[in-house]
Chains A and B, each alone.
Chain A
Amino acid sequence: MTDPLEELARLAERARQEHLPAGDVSGRVLARIREEERSTTLPLAVFATGSVVTAAAVTVYSAVLVSALTDPLSSLFQTASAIVP
């Protein structure tokens, strides 16, 4: 009785001589790459636009806040304008 693994090794040697199939996938690969690049670019553009809009809103709000904090008379004028039409 021979070692089963030795017999398997002989089978593997025969298997390695198998003529293997081939093909040409270059066209399909390029198409898939273009598709994936398109699908990642659009969400990024949306995200970037959203970020710009948010940043602009925060900037304007911050400017108003800073102005109110740094101008000590601003609250007085606000109160005066509420009393005196």
Chain B
Amino acid sequence: MNSPVAETDKHDIRAALDGDENAYARLVERYQGDVFAQMWRFSRDRNTVDELVQEVFVEVYFSLGKFKGRAPFLHWVRRIATRVGYHYWKRKARDKKVQEAALEQHRDARPVSEISTPSEAGQYLFELLEALPPKERMVLTLYYFEELSTKEIAGRLNWSHSLVRVRMHRARRRLRGLLENAGFGRDSHDGSS
């Protein structure tokens, strides 16, 4: 039976567990691009993303002994990265002023018809989702940015499938209200699509 873990990963994981720093550095270099892209969905600040990526790989290192090899190594790293990002949002959400500011910013958001570049679209979507509570934001971020199904989201977050469906439903209902305030759906002939 073929292992889902690449031979290079297996070799470097074993060596890292034996204390080989260079082996672990190779693992970091191999997957940091993917993790950077993932953490960019948790913060649009470059310094914060840098910190979060480091946090992910430090946590991966100290959890390396628990990696069972039932799925590709990157899948396991992504689960840890999602957890790190989610905890970051929860820490930020404790400061209620942050969420209020996000809602306020959203009220003054420019019409979606003016969004043209992928970077602007990414920024706009990020700010929109920022106005949601962390649990709902998490579900929709994975849905819209990573195109995961509800089942895949449940697996990534270690939540039950039914819980994800309930949170998805609530999140989309709340989001619809925010979108209507921002003028989504009003001018369907704006040529933005």
Residues of chain A at the chain B interface (Cβ within 8 Å): 1-12, 14-30, 32-33, 36
Contact = CB atoms under 8 A, between A and B. Distances in A.
A20 B58 CA distance: 22
B125 A24 contact: no
Given A22-B33, A25-B50, A7 B125 contact: no
A50 B46 CA distance: 45
A14 to B, nearest CB: 4
B185 A1 contact: yes
Nearest to B25: A26
A29 B193 contact: no
Given A5-B172, A7-B184, A20 B37 contact: yes
B99 interface: no
A32 B119 CA distance: 32
A10 B193 contact: yes
Contacts of A28: 54
A32 B62 CA distance: 11
B142 to A, nearest CB: 12
A23 B124 contact: no
Given A19-B118, A19-B119, A22-B32, 6 more contacts: A7-B185, A15-B144, A23-B53, A26-B29, A27-B25, A30-B21
- Main secondary structure, interface of B, reads helix
B184 A20 contact: no
Contact of B61 (A18, A20, A22, A33): A33
Interface string B109-124: 0001001011101101
Contacts of A7: 112, 179, 184-185, 192-193
A39 B51 CA distance: 20
A13 to B, nearest CB: 8
A32 B58 contact: yes
Contacts of A27: 25
Contacts of B42: none
Contacts of A26: 25, 28-29, 32
Contacts of B118: 14-19
A30 B147 CA distance: 32
Contacts of A11: 112, 115, 121, 124-125
A2 B121 CA distance: 19
Contact of A29 (B58, B128, B144): B58
Contacts of B117: 14
B119 to A, nearest CB: 5
Q: Closest 9 A-B residue pairs measured CB to CB?
A: A4-B179, A4-B184, A14-B121, A12-B144, A18-B118, A15-B121, A4-B185, A18-B122, A17-B118
